[in-house]
Amino acid sequence: MDQLAKSVYEFWMRSGVTSVRFPVLPEKLDMETQGKNESFDITAYGEITVIQKPGAKTFSFSAFFPKHQGPYCEFKMTKTPAQLRSQIETWMNQMYPVHFIVTGAGINTMVSIESFKVYEKAGEIGDLYFDLTLKSFKFTVVNKIKIKKKQPVKKTTRPNTLAKARTHKVKSGDTLWAISKKYYGNHNDWRKIWNKNKTMMIKRDKKNVKQPGHWIYPGQTLIIP
């Protein structure tokens, strides 16, 4: 601890590796929590108050940055009043929260710099007096909603069964029985071939009055279902 230290309290502002320790303690630290309670006037019941969660806490205090070391300083100063003022104004202009710490008072919180008023007093050349107001700050996490793109509906085309069907070109000596044996492994399924091709076979064999369509001829193309 510094030999000049006189108090258990230390006032700090810090952002990353940059910090400001206030060399002179303020006479008082005002802390105020704004309430968000709402009152409604209901004829039947009178005034009703709805209690809400409290708002952000505000810290405000006044002190000064001395130009010269004095008995009122809490530690041996290494920065000038202009440097201390410039650092706080830089944080304020960056619009980013900083740590506010008061040792001995249990205060260690993120704050935004709401106002920083600096002025001089007559006869105290070089000393910078200030009024500082800070407000507690909480980082807000915004959840991203991923919107799924609607998948285009795939058009299904009806399969062309005719294009995929097997065919057999009739040769001399062919019979439906023999063709059935070739494609199905047995003779008994010959009627499948006949049913699939009967329209064409009857048209081709229309002169056969007694058994139209019961004959096949070389050169015919039969569909094998």
- Residue 200: pLDDT band with limits 50, 70, 90: confident
Residue 1 pLDDT greater than 60, yes or no: no
**Rounded to 5, what percent of the chain is helix, strand, coil?**
20, 30, 50
Mind listing the pLDDT tens digit for each residue in 145-186? 777 777 777 777 666 655 567 899 888 888 888 888 889 888
What is the model's pLDDT at position 142?
65
**pTM score, whole prediction:** 0.55
Mind listing the pLDDT tens digit for each residue in 11-55? 999 999 999 999 999 999 998 887 655 555 555 555 555 556 777
φ, ψ for residue 136, nearest 5 deg: -60, 145
Q: Kindly provide the residue ranges of all beta strands, DSSP E only, lying in the chain, ordered along the sequence.
A: 10-15, 18-21, 30-33, 38-42, 46-50, 57-65, 98-103, 107-119, 128-136, 166-169, 221-224
Contact 128, 116 (CB under 8 A): no
The CA-atom distances, in angstroms, between 153 and each of 149, 150, 156, 158 are 12, 9, 9, 15
For the chain, the C-alpha Rg in angstroms (whole number) is 48
Task: Report which of 56, 58, 77, 57 is spatially closest to residue 66, judged by C-alpha positions.
Answer: 77
Contact 23, 75 (CB under 8 A): yes
CATH superfamily to which 161-224 belongs = LysM domain (3.10.350.10)
What is the model's pLDDT at position 110?
94
CA angle 58, 23, 69 (to 5 degrees): 155
Mind listing the pLDDT tens digit for each residue in 45-94? 555 555 567 778 899 999 999 999 999 999 999 999 999 999 999 999 99
3-class state of residue 104 by DSSP: coil
What are the boundaries of each domain within the chain?
Answer: 10-136, 161-224
The CATH architecture that domain 10-136 belongs to is Beta Barrel (2.40)
Query: How far apart are the C-alpha atoms of 165 and 173, rounded to whole Å?
Result: 23
For residue 11, give both structure tokens. Answer: 């006032």
- Residue 2: pLDDT band with limits 50, 70, 90: very low
Contact 56, 68 (CB under 8 A): no
What is the model's pLDDT at position 112?
94
